[in-house]
Copies of this chain bind each other. A is one copy, B any other.
Amino acid sequence: MEALTTEQKIVNAANKLFSQKGFAATKTREIADEAGINLALLNYYFGSKENLFKIVVKEKFRMLVEVMAPILSDKEIPLRDKVESITNNYTDLLLENEELPIFVLNEWSLNKEMFAEITLNARKIAQPVIENQLKESGVELSAADFITNILGLIMFPFVAKQLIISSGLVKEEEFLTFVTERKEKIKEWIVKK
């Protein structure tokens, strides 16, 4: 049942709370309570709140990048399939981690240095492949617009979920259906027949 190590309990609690409330609003005592461990163990295992935070952010961030990079860079996958695959994978990922995009993007804008390496490599590999495929498919989009649009169409509903729901555009209980149905639509919007 309780097969988690102390370190895992802390990381799990930190994951949850940092994602929900951000770095500054999350208190070390809250993390300790959520994890069900003594406060001092946080520093014993992770040194500092900031270090724990970096671990959490990098992990979240990796989730976000690793969905996309290998798909985009693969020359064998046709463009249309890439869109489908990325849309499906991202939507599923975000449905299980709804706070992920707003958290990562927000922390990114606050802490510009932390992520540079990971993204840069991903882009360097993917960009020429995508540009080639766009040209071949006759889609008049730059790689930047292509990636911005596909990410925006997928992620924006999650980023703006509260806006969409509290405006009444989509009811809370319809949200799952809303984003699920968008999977099919996004494919059509990006790569028109």
| Residues of chain A having any CB pair with chain B under 8 Å | 20-25, 99, 102, 105-106, 108-110, 112, 115-116, 119-120, 122-124, 127, 143-145, 147-149, 151-153, 155-157, 159-164, 166-170, 178, 182, 185, 189, 192
Q: Are B157 and A152 in contact (CB under 8 A)?
A: yes
In the complex, A178→B24 CA distance in Å?
33
Q: Give me 20 other A-B pairs in contact (C-beta within 8 A), A144-B170, A155-B160 excluded.
A: A21-B24, A22-B22, A22-B106, A23-B25, A24-B24, A25-B110, A99-B109, A102-B106, A102-B109, A109-B162, A115-B166, A119-B166, A122-B167, A143-B169, A144-B164, A144-B169, A152-B155, A152-B156, A152-B160, A159-B159
Closest CB pairs A-B (n = 4): A152-B156, A24-B24, A24-B25, A119-B167
In the complex, A166→B124 CA distance in Å?
11
User: Chain B residues near A167 (CB, 8 Å)?
Assistant: 119-120, 122-123
Q: How many copies does the complex hold?
A: 2
The one of B24, B109, B149 that contacts A153, using a Cβ cutoff of 8 Å: B149
| Closest residue on chain B to residue A141 by CB atoms | B185
User: Chain B residues near A143 (CB, 8 Å)?
Assistant: 169
Closest chain B CB from A145 CB (angstroms): 7
